[in-house]
Structure 1
Amino acid sequence: MISTRDLISQARAREAAMSKVDELLASATGTAHDLDGQVEATVDGRGKLLRLWLAPSAVNLGERLGPLVVEIAQAAMREATQDGYNKVALLLGEDMTFMIEQMTGMPAPARAEDDDPGMTVEEFQRLRAERLGSAPPETPAPPSAEDEDAYWDSFDPASLRSDR
C-alpha cells in the first residue's frame, strides 16, 4: 500500500518534471533544406528563425525562392516540434507527452497520417546490394534466448526515435 508521504513525493517529482517542459521545448531545434541544397533553415521550438542559408545559385530561382524558403522553414518547424516532443517524452513518458500534444492541439509530426515510415531493413539491404553490385546479405538466424536476455539487459530506451 502506498503511503501519503509517497504520494506527496510522487506529486512533487511530477511537478518538478513538468516545470522543465517549457525549457525542453524551448531548447528544441529543427533544420531542413531543399533537395538541391540551395536553401537551408534552422528554427527553434517556437518557430523563431535561427539561421537561413541561401546558396549563391538561389538567386536563379526568381519568384520561386520566397515560397521555397517558407516551405523549408515549415519543414524545419516540424522537425523542431518533433525534437521537443522527443525530449519531453524522455522526461515524462509517452502518455504524458501525448496528453501535452492533445492540450496544445499540435500533434507530433511523426503521428501525422502522411508521415513517411521510411524503408524496411530488407529494402535498404536490397538497394545497397544493387548499388554496390553484390548479393544481399543472408537473413541472420533468430537470436537464442540467452542472446535476447543479454540484449535487453543493455538496452537503452533513450536510443529510440519516438513514434509520436
Structure 2
Amino acid sequence: MTDRQPLERSTRQLIEDGRARQEALADIDTVLRNVQGTAYDNHGSVRVTVDGRGKLVDLWLRQDAVRWGADQLGRLIVMVAQAAMDEATQAGYNKLAPLLGDNMTYAIELISGRAAPARAGAGSGITAEEFQRRRDERMRKADGAGESARGPVEDDGFDPDDPLSFDLSSLRSDR
C-alpha cells in the first residue's frame, strides 16, 4: 500500500491538491495520447514511434533494411517497437508523476500491469549516471569529428536472431 506521511499543508492546500489530482486522473487518456516513444536499432535500419497507448505512429525503414530478410526484419521491428513502447510508457509516467504524486502513479502502474520501465529494470542495465557519462562521451566524439550526432553506421555485431545482442534496458529513461 502507500506510506502515511505527516501533513504539513493546510486544509485548503490539501483540497487544491486533491482537485488537481482529480483533474489529472480525468486527463490520463489525453496525457497518454500526447506522449510518444521512439526507438532505433543499432544499425539505423529501423525507427519506430508509438504513442503512450501503444498505437503505431511512425515506422521508418532504411532502403537496405531488406538485407535482413523478412523473418529477421520482422523480429527487429518488434524489438524496436517494444523499446519505443517502453520509452512512451516511461514518458507517460514521467508526466503523470508530478500531477498525481509518486504513490498514485505507482498505483496506476500496479492497476495497469505495466510497470515503469525505469522501475521494472531496477538492478539491470546501467545507472542514469553511467548512461549520462556514456552519452557525454559519444557527444564529445561526434563534435570532435565534425560529424552529426548519429555519425556513420558501423557494424556493431547486432544479430536479430540473438535476443541478447540488443539490450532494451540501455534505452530506458529514469524519472
Give the TM-score, by structure 1 length: 0.67
- For 2:118, the aligned partner's letter is A
Give the paired residue count. 133
* Inter-partner Cα distance in structure 1 for 2:134 and 2:13: 50
Q: Which has the larger radius of gyration?
A: 1
Q: How far is 1:103 from its partner?
A: 1.6
Task: Give the equivalent residue in structure 1 for 2:60.
Answer: 53
* Inter-partner Cα distance in structure 2 for 1:15 and 1:28: 20
Identity among equivalent positions (%) equals 48
Corresponding residue SS for 2:43:
coil
1:77 aligned to which of 81, 85, 89: 85
Q: How far is 1:27 from its partner?
A: 1.2
Q: How far is 1:122 from its partner?
A: 7.1
Q: How far is 1:2 from its partner?
A: 5.7
Alignment of 1:95 onto 2:88 = no
Range with bigger deviation, 89-98 or 28-37: 89-98
1:1-164 equivalences under 5 Å are 10-62=17-69, 63-111=71-119, 112-113=121-122, 114-118=124-128, 119=130, 163=174
Unaligned runs of 5+ in 2: 1-8, 145-172
* Inter-partner Cα distance in structure 1 for 2:97 and 2:132: 26
Change (3 A) 1:11 1:67: same
Give the TM-score, by structure 2 length: 0.63
* Inter-partner Cα distance in structure 1 for 2:88 and 2:78: 15
Residues 23-45 of structure 1: per-residue CA shift (max 9 Å, x gap): 11221110000001011100111
Q: How far is 1:125 from its partner?
A: 7.8
Corresponding residue SS for 1:30:
strand
RMSD: 3.0
Change (3 A) 1:124 1:90: same
Contact 2:20 2:99 in 1 (8 A): no
Change (3 A) 1:9 1:31: closer
